[in-house]
């Protein structure tokens, strides 16, 4: 009989280990004083979120979680323990657990949980339960992502508008530099032509004394 009991325990450990591997997000609760009828009622609530409640003894639970190699996790297993195996929505499972605990404070206690391989204490589980539902949380994330994106689009549109305005101004101002260049090009010869008369005007007048003295004699 002892051998049969050992085989049953080994099968229970293997089954729980497999369940924990397939659902790595779970929560641990103390259920020492929880009646079987209340446990069944809690299971029905969890079934709506595809979560499960597994009640195990301390030794069996510790042996099952040893394979996860998470420091401090085995310390949560004292007495009878209820493991809430979360479904796809771990937030909903945490919310259901915390709400059920509030209605059964003297019979059930939240001891912690594991999310993505990280050990959570009871306070963190309570905080997790206070988060909005997954669809609302995803919507908030999308809005957070879209807001900077909208700012980037607005900035790009404004820059494109500025570039278009600068292009129009450049196109309108383009003939002006050409006219100035032409004027400067044409002014250069005139400056040269005016330079010669200026030099002639500055030259001393020719000596006409001989011509003037001829008629007087």
Q: For every one of its 217 residues, what pLDDT tens digit does the chain have, with 9 covering 90 and above?
A: 545 445 455 666 778 888 887 788 999 999 988 899 999 999 999 988 889 999 988 888 888 888 888 999 999 998 889 999 998 889 899 999 999 999 988 889 999 999 988 999 999 999 989 887 666 666 666 666 555 555 555 555 565 565 555 555 556 655 545 544 444 444 444 444 444 444 444 555 555 544 444 444 3
Give yes or no for a contact between 50 and 88, defined as CB atoms under 8 angstroms apart: yes
**Size of the chain in residues:** 217
Q: Round to whole Å and give the CA distance between 130 and 23.
A: 22
- With a threshold of 0.75, does the pTM exceed it? no
**Which residues touch 16 (CB under 8 Å, ≥6 apart)?**
54, 56, 60, 61, 64, 83
């Amino acid at each position: 009989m002892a051998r049969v009991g050992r085989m049953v325990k080994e099968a229970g450990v293997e089954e729980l280990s497999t369940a924990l591997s397939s659902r790595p997000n779970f929560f641990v609760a103390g259920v020492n004083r929880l009646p079987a009828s209340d446990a069944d009622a809690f299971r029905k609530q969890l079934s709506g979120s595809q979560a499960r409640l597994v009640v195990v003894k301390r030794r069996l639970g510790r042996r099952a979680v040893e394979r996860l190699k998470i420091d401090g996790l085995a310390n949560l297993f004292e007495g009878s323990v209820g493991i809430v195996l979360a479904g796809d929505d771990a937030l909903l499972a945490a919310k259901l657990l915390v709400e059920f605990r509030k209605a059964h404070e003297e019979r059930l206690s939240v001891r912690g949980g594991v999310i993505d391989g990280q050990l959570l204490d009871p306070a963190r589980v309570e905080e997790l339960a206070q988060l909005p539902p997954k669809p609302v949380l995803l919507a908030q994330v999308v809005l957070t992502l879209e807001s900077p994106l909208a700012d980037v689009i607005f900035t790009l549109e404004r820059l494109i508008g500025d570039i278009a305005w600068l292009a129009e101004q450049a196109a309108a101002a383009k003939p002006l530099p050409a006219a100035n260049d032409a004027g400067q090009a044409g002014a250069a010869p005139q400056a040269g032509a005016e330079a010669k008369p200026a030099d002639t005007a500055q030259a001393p007048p020719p000596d006409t004394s001989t011509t003037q003295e001829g008629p007087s004699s």
